[in-house]
Chain A
């Protein structure tokens, strides 16, 4: 029986930034439903990788395939199935939480019922009509999580998702963005032990190059630590 196609396939992905190389011939494959955790010091290319996978940046060389679609030519076909959560929450501070989510819902062709359900699930429904600039950072992060999963993406790209979240809030969002959500996930992490624990696959980036790549079970936290030196 043929193996199901990988959700994410990278083949020599290269992306430059000016004269520097932000990503250098990165190659890996992530099966559907698996979790890839990306480690590496700041500037190693983790955010760039996520942005390329989110179809926000074009690859300068190499191939990127998401859900069988080649980027950038077929980015339009697969964008609706990808969710991105980055350092920036991507919400407008002068609009309310509900208005922000409704805006994204319209852009993704998603009904408002889902907006209400998500607001309820992360515990924001009572403050949903307050403007985002009145939210605490944890609330903004929770709203951003809602935004990221609003359209029920098959692939989730998470850049340090639990930043600004206290344990209670982290528990609220876990079913949406955690391993049990059933989505293919790419998560960046600075925590070797914790990151490896939730990973199926691990990628260690250093200077844009894949210094480490393989099943998480075969990688030691010490090897991750070595990336930072």
Chain B
């Protein structure tokens, strides 16, 4: 039996022999909503990922202070500190993304449901995106407080937020793919950073280069357009790839 005999949902037609015809299919949006509710509900009920990632970010900032031996950073150094901190916090989140499902059999529970498997990809990616955004709400002000020299204006913050959201989308997609791969391996926590960090280097490049002028002492030049565009391209390509490949990761 070849892998090409994967499922091809077609329009419902009566099965031979007069067996009950209409397959009851739950639409994608409903399935994603259900999964997201569970995902966010679990995190709110028993917070693990977001507090850990947020705390890790703040601790990393403190480590940077001592490692760089500076009280203040600006420009490209500031951008670097911020992006490294966020990236490493994301590694924690990615490692944990599928663990609860894997351990409590939730994945089977989903696979038994009459719904498109893509729902899981979308729900996990959106969930991770939400977690990353929540962490940034804490980490970015902490960074501004602890280490940032110049005080950016509202417009600058808005641009920074836009860049962060684009980057978060990319991290969320890659994170969902790598998280799904990693949960099946034995050395889960080791393998996630090894695989995810090289894949996320374009995000770091675009993020850091884009953020540098925003955090510079002499504010003036805004965000060069090429960096959000690069992030957008990255998100698009890996989003499509994830859509095409995710089924192969969760179906047996």
Chain A residues near B (Cβ < 8 Å):
4-5, 54-61, 67-69, 72-82, 84, 86, 88-95, 99, 103-104, 106-109, 131, 147, 151, 154
Contact = CB atoms under 8 A, between A and B. Distances in A.
B72 interface: no
Interface in B14-71: 15-20, 23-26, 30-31, 33-35, 37-38, 41-42, 45-46
B1 A58 contact: yes
B contact residues, range:
35 or more
A107 B41 contact: no
B109 interface: yes
A90 B34 CA distance: 16
A131 B42 CA distance: 11
A88 B23 contact: no
Given A67-B15, A92-B104, 16 more contacts: A56-B252, A68-B16, A68-B17, A68-B19, A69-B15, A69-B19, A72-B5, A73-B6, A73-B8, A76-B25, A79-B23, A89-B105, A90-B109, A95-B45, A104-B113, A106-B33
A95 B31 CA distance: 18
DSSP class of A's interface residues: helix, strand, loop or mixed? loop
A72 B6 contact: yes
9 contacts: A5-B17, A59-B1, A76-B114, A90-B109, A92-B104, A103-B37, A106-B30, A106-B31, A106-B37
A90 B114 contact: no
Given A72-B7, A79-B114, A95 B41 contact: yes
B104 A93 contact: yes
A80 B21 CA distance: 12
Contacts, number: 125
A151 B24 CA distance: 10
Contact of B104 (A5, A80, A91, A108): A91
B153 interface: no
A172 B30 CA distance: 32
A61 B34 contact: no
Contact of B105 (A5, A88, A94, A106): A88
Interface of B: 1, 5-9, 12, 15-20, 23-26, 30-31, 33-35, 37-38, 41-42, 45-46, 100, 104-106, 108-115, 251-252
B115 A61 contact: no
A77 B19 CA distance: 12
Contact of A58 (B16, B42, B114, B252): B252
A75 B7 contact: yes
A177 to B, nearest CB: 16
A107 B113 contact: yes
A95 B105 contact: no
A23 B42 CA distance: 37
A165 B110 CA distance: 25
Contacts of B112: 54-56, 79, 82, 84, 90
B42 A92 contact: yes
B46 A81 contact: no
